[in-house]
Structure formats: structure tokens, C-alpha cells
């Protein structure tokens, strides 16, 4: 092997080692990782014989108070610190470090419109990816009943007036957030003869709903699903 080949291999190995070290330092923490291995671990001779796992784990420094508050900055900007909602959202953030209440709210608004329109159109495929199994079964039964009666729904989504987080909770590994969503819609239901049996084909109606979204914080899937619905009408 020539000198140039040896130098090339040396730098290649060095580059690989540096890459893995940077990945360990800069890699995004999700809260579910195993403790990092200490590649340079050493045992204290005075402490006696080392156990098989000695020197393999690095104890990382705990997040200090300033870092903790920086972590919750997005929540404090969303709702005042010291309130019950702020405390609840902080618990969600502790379970899911990627959680941002503003981004969640924007996503929930889009999901609300998609779900409402998919239900009106009988689009089961779209609903299945947005709903929990229990909620999907309820929506599917309602669509099937409509189909059996030959009824048709025609809806126009006008927009969302308000979308506010009202409660948040973490149960075991599941994060749950309930939102009050006030929307404007035009909706009319027709029987199989084409006669109007519910709603109004021209009037804009205000709809107020309480929807609860949930996510398993252990999952790599970042999506939230609708797990409960309640109408305030």
C-alpha cells in the first residue's frame, strides 16, 4: 500500500469517527432514546472491579432552570405562564419535546376542515387516516345509514372563526388536547327523491364543536388523531 493510500484511509476513518461523534452531540432528542454509550469510558481503580456495564454510560448534565424556561418559551408565548392551561401544555411538552401549541392549533384547524368535508362526502379513506378506530367506526356507521336511506349531503365550508385549546392532559404515554372550534358552514341533506330534509342550501350556520385529539408520545408518527367529538349546539 502506498503512502497516499494510507493517508486516504486514515482520513476516511477519522471522518467517520467525527461524524458519529457529531451525531451523538447534535442529534435530536425525542425523550425515548437509550442513554448514550461512553466511547471513552474508564473505571475508577479505587472503586474495585468494574461491572460488565461499567464505563458504558455517560450521565448527561440536567437541564438547568434557564434551559427549562427556554424549552417552554413557545408555550408561554401561547398562553400566560402560571395558568392551568400553561401548566398542562408544559406537561405535554415534557412528554413530547417537539410539541408547539401554535403549530398544533394550525394543524388542528386543517384537520377539522378535512374531517368535516370528508364526512359530508362519505370519503372513508380520508377519514380513516385522521380518526381513532372508535371515532372512525361512529362516522362510518353514520355514512352507511345515510347511504342505506339514499340521502345526500351537500356542504360548503366557509371558514373557522375560532380554534382554541381548552384542556390538555397526559395519561401514561398518551397526550390529549381538547379544542373548541367554531366554524361557519352551509349544509343541506336531501332524501332519495331530492327533497330537502335537513339544513339549508343557502344559509350560513355557525357550528361549535369540542374535539379531542390524541397522540402516543412513544410513536415515531408525529400525527395526532381525533379521539372524541362533542357538539355544543
Reported pTM? 0.70
Which residue did the predictor score with more confidence, 128 or 9?
A: 128
136 with 183: CB under 8 angstroms?
Answer: no
Which residue did the predictor score with more confidence, 7 or 191?
A: 191
C-alpha angle 150-152-156 in degrees, rounded to nearest 5 = 175
Closest C-alpha to 181, from 89, 71, 104: 104
- Going from N- to C-terminal start, the domains of the chain cover 87-231
- CA 150/CA 144 separation, integer angstroms: 10
Three-state secondary structure string covering 79-101: CCCCCHHHHHHHHHHHHCCCCCH
pLDDT digits (tens, 9 = 90+) for 98-147: 999 999 999 999 999 999 999 999 999 999 999 999 999 999 999 999 99
Residue with cell 352507511: 144
pLDDT digits (tens, 9 = 90+) for 169-193: 999 999 999 999 999 999 999 999 9
Report CA dihedral (212, 213, 218, 222) to the nearest 10 degrees.
-170
Q: What is the widest separation between alpha-carbon atoms in the chain?
A: 90
Would you say domain 87-231 falls under CATH 3.40.718.10? no
Average pLDDT rounded to a whole number, residues 200-212 = 96
Amino acid at each position: 500500500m502506498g503512502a497516499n493510500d494510507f493517508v486516504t484511509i486514515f482520513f476516511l476513518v477519522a471522518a467517520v469517527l467525527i461524524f458519529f461523534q457529531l451525531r451523538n452531540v447534535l442529534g435530536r432528542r425525542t425523550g425515548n432514546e437509550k442513554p448514550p454509550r461512553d466511547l471513552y469510558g474508564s473505571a475508577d481503580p479505587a472503586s474495585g472491579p468494574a461491572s460488565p456495564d461499567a464505563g458504558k454510560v455517560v450521565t448527561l448534565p440536567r437541564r438547568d432552570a434557564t434551559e427549562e424556561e427556554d424549552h417552554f418559551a413557545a408555550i408561554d408565548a401561547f398562553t400566560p405562564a402560571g395558568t392551568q392551561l400553561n401548566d398542562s401544555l408544559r406537561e405535554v411538552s415534557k412528554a413530547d419535546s417537539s410539541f408547539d401549541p401554535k403549530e398544533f392549533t394550525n394543524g388542528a384547524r386543517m384537520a377539522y376542515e378535512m374531517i368535516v368535508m370528508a364526512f359530508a362526502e362519505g370519503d372513508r379513506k380520508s377519514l380513516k387516516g385522521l380518526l381513532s378506530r372508535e371515532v372512525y367506526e361512529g362516522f362510518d356507521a353514520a355514512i352507511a345509514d345515510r347511504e342505506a336511506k339514499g340521502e345526500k349531503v351537500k356542504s360548503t365550508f366557509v371558514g373557522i372563526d375560532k380554534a382554541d385549546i381548552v384542556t390538555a392532559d397526559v395519561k401514561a404515554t398518551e397526550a390529549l388536547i381538547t379544542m373548541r372550534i367554531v366554524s361557519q358552514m352551509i349544509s343541506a341533506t336531501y332524501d332519495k327523491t331530492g327533497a330537502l330534509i335537513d339544513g339549508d342550501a343557502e344559509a350560513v350556520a355557525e357550528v361549535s364543536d369540542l374535539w379531542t385529539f390524541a397522540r402516543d408520545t412513544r410513536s415515531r408518527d408525529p400525527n395526532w388523531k381525533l379521539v372524541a367529538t362533542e357538539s355544543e349546539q
